[in-house]
Amino acid sequence: MGDDDVLWEIFARLPPQPSFLLRASLVCQRWRRLATDHDFLRRRWPPIIGVFIPNHYTKPPSFKCILDPPDSIPPERFALRYESEAGYEDDDIWYFLGCRHGCLLLLLCSRADPSYRLVLVWDPVIEEQRFLYLPPHFDNHVSPSVQGAVLCASADERHVHGDCHSSPFKVVLACADIHNARALACVYSSETDSWGDLITIPFETPFTIGSRTIQVGNSVYWFLFGTQIGIVDTLAEGGAGGLGFIDFSNLTFTAQLWVRKTDAVGAAEWILGKQLIWTSFFHRYRALYTSLSGNGV
């Protein structure tokens, strides 16, 4: 093990607060080079410095730091400053859609003009803002039904998430089209500055899309709530994107994994990838639910 490796092992054992590694990097140029090395930072999970709290839709989310001094950050450091292009500042409605890889995703609407709706990607660290118009087929849906996620789209293998400032990003929007019994999804790429093709999933029963997302690898997941509970899986990276979903049936105790395949000429169709039968699991769940209900829990 070389001298650099020994120092990296020491740095890796420092407390997660940013000030400890910062002080170590000020010792000399060599320590600074090692403390900012990308390979080292990939091994060190970035600390959570605070949270953004929605303000009942009337104002942009406010920042609250969770670190103690000297690592604490004042709320005004990450306050959103913007000018509405239509002059609707006093009538703005803010919907907080998500936060990932250092960026916030917000949906901005106006009480004065219902047609005024923009998606805002905001990097509070470098104070960079990117306003996007909604993709086709999304502008006719009620704002609270539109859900979204933002994620870094850097293709550099040495890239460290948490240091994604000015990196390319992608935005994924999803909503329930109740009138046409389908779920809609669309992916925006900052590299092409355009929305991709509209992706749809047919559903036979009414449903809503949950507001929380989970990223696993290159996929973003949403829960669908209704008579049939499903998970929307939007492939946000690696090509133009795709879609899959899992359909749970409470009647037959089965789970079906459907994937969207495109052939050589561009024709797309839904294909049943796998079907799981969870009879024993649901029976145990129902028995547990009955037991808890019977005891007044």
What CA–CA distance (Å, rounded) separates 16 from 175? 38
Same domain, 191 and 272: yes
* Inside any domain, residue 146: no
Nearest to 131 by CA among 98, 83, 59, 167: 83
On the CB side of 285, CA atoms within 13 Å amount to 7
- Write out the residue range of the structural domain in which residue 260 sits: 151-296
Domain boundary among 133, 159, 191: 133
For residue 243, what pLDDT is reported?
54
8 Å CB contact between 123 and 162: no
On the CB side of 62, CA atoms within 13 Å amount to 9
Structural tokens at position 194:
């355009």
Same domain, 90 and 166: no
* Inside any domain, residue 141: no
Sheet holding 219-226, edge to edge: 207-216, 219-226, 228-235, 242-249, 254-262, 268-277
48-98 pLDDT tens trace: 888 888 877 778 888 999 998 889 999 998 888 876 655 555 678 888 888
Same domain, 161 and 291: yes
* Inside any domain, residue 206: yes
8 Å CB contact between 128 and 165: yes
Same domain, 84 and 115: yes
Same domain, 97 and 169: no
Same domain, 97 and 76: yes
For residue 120, what pLDDT is reported?
92
What CA–CA distance (Å, rounded) separates 32 from 9? 15
Give me the residues of the chain with pLDDT under 70, please: 1-2, 83-90, 140-143, 154-166, 204-207, 216-218, 224, 226-260, 266, 268, 270, 273, 276-297
pTM value is 0.68
For residue 188, what pLDDT is reported?
92
The helix (run of H) or strand (run of E) holding residue 24 is helix 18-25
Same domain, 186 and 223: yes
For residue 204, what pLDDT is reported?
66
